[in-house]
Amino acid sequence: MSSYFAFFGDNAALLAELTLVHILLSVFALAVAVVLAIPLGAWIGHLHRFSFAVVSVGNVLRSLPTLAIIAIGLALYGFGIINITVALVILGFPLVLTNTFTAVEGVDPGTVEAARGMGMTGWQILTRVELPSAIPLISSGIRTSWVYIVATAYLATFAGQQGTLGDIISNIEGYGLSGVLAAATISILLAFAGDALLGLAERALTPTGLRLLAERTPAADAEPAPAAPAAA
């Protein structure tokens, strides 16, 4: 136990350096996943078409074992930053994609019909009605995605990308169990810190009206309003 605490003091500079790279890599992978997933999910959710394709793509990508992606990547495009980034993006992308899609597609049809009937264009409906309503769910997708990516980024070492906390976590011979646990602790803290920061951003971005709506309709026992006949 004492060697665990001692490790932080003895290796402060190394830990700081590895942590920084670990953060940079994770943020970069998350950003790529988000930039790819949100427009795609939002657009398809808006169209209310191809939903089967999105759900299937999401499920397939989610099933892909990260280490297998890294292994195949090593054979196809070799060691390094590209390899680990691809693996982490594949890890984070489906969460954001399906959440964005589900949220946008799930916006109350009455609200969308009212917007259409009022003369809002498709783009206006997407940006002013659907996306603002989807923020909480999109955000939770991004937050989960972050937790997964940070906790998995140590695999960078196996992808031949040195410099992350994985250098310590995957080298128990060199640093001992206390070193591994120290590096893991930092990784855990990063996961929680990022989640908290994103949570703050979510609070700031979520429109007050939606929060009130969520408080009014508790998740449990919430039954959808009886659907009106589509065409009388």
Of 19 and 35, the one with the shorter C-beta distance to another protein is 19
Of 12 and 68, the one with the shorter C-beta distance to another protein is 68
88, 129, 142, 198: which one contacts another protein (CB under 8 A)?
129
CB 154 within 8 A of CB 166: yes
Site string for another protein, 161-200 (x = CB under 8 A): ----xx--xxxxx---x--xx-xx--xx--xx--------
Report the alpha-carbon distance of residue 159 to residue 138 in Å, rounded.
29
- Establish if 13 lies at the interface with another protein (CB under 8 A): no
Q: Rounded to whole angstroms, what are the CA distances from 170 to 59, 64, 74, 102, 147?
A: 29, 22, 18, 37, 19
- Establish if 34 lies at the interface with another protein (CB under 8 A): no
- Establish if 77 lies at the interface with another protein (CB under 8 A): no
- Establish if 119 lies at the interface with another protein (CB under 8 A): yes
Report the alpha-carbon distance of residue 120 to residue 147 in Å, rounded.
37
- Establish if 66 lies at the interface with another protein (CB under 8 A): yes
Of 17 and 35, the one with the shorter C-beta distance to another protein is 17
- Taking CB under 8 A as the binding criterion, the range among 8-16, 31-39, 41-49, 220-228 that sits at the site for another protein is 220-228
Residue 37 φ then ψ, to 5° = -80, -40
Of 17 and 108, the one with the shorter C-beta distance to another protein is 108
Write the DSSP assignment of 20-70 as a string of letters. HHHHHHHHHHHHHHHHHHHHHHHHHHHHT-SHHHHHHHHHHHHHS-HHHHH
- Establish if 82 lies at the interface with another protein (CB under 8 A): no
- Establish if 209 lies at the interface with another protein (CB under 8 A): yes
Write the DSSP assignment of 77-97 as a string of letters. H-SSHHHHHHHHHHHHHHHHH
Nearest-approach distance from CB 215 to another protein, in angstroms: 8
- Establish if 223 lies at the interface with another protein (CB under 8 A): yes
Of 6 and 177, the one with the shorter C-beta distance to another protein is 177
Count of residues that interact with another protein, criterion CB under 8 A = 77
Nearest-approach distance from CB 72 to another protein, in angstroms: 4
Question: Which position has the token pair 């603002």?
Answer: 132
Report the alpha-carbon distance of residue 45 to residue 23 in Å, rounded.
31
- Taking CB under 8 A as the binding criterion, the range among 6-14, 43-51, 96-104, 120-128 that sits at the site for another protein is 120-128
- Find all residues with CB under 8 Å of 65, minimum gap 6, and list them: none
- Establish if 224 lies at the interface with another protein (CB under 8 A): no
Question: Helix (H, G, I), strand (E, B), or coil: what is residue 171?
Answer: coil
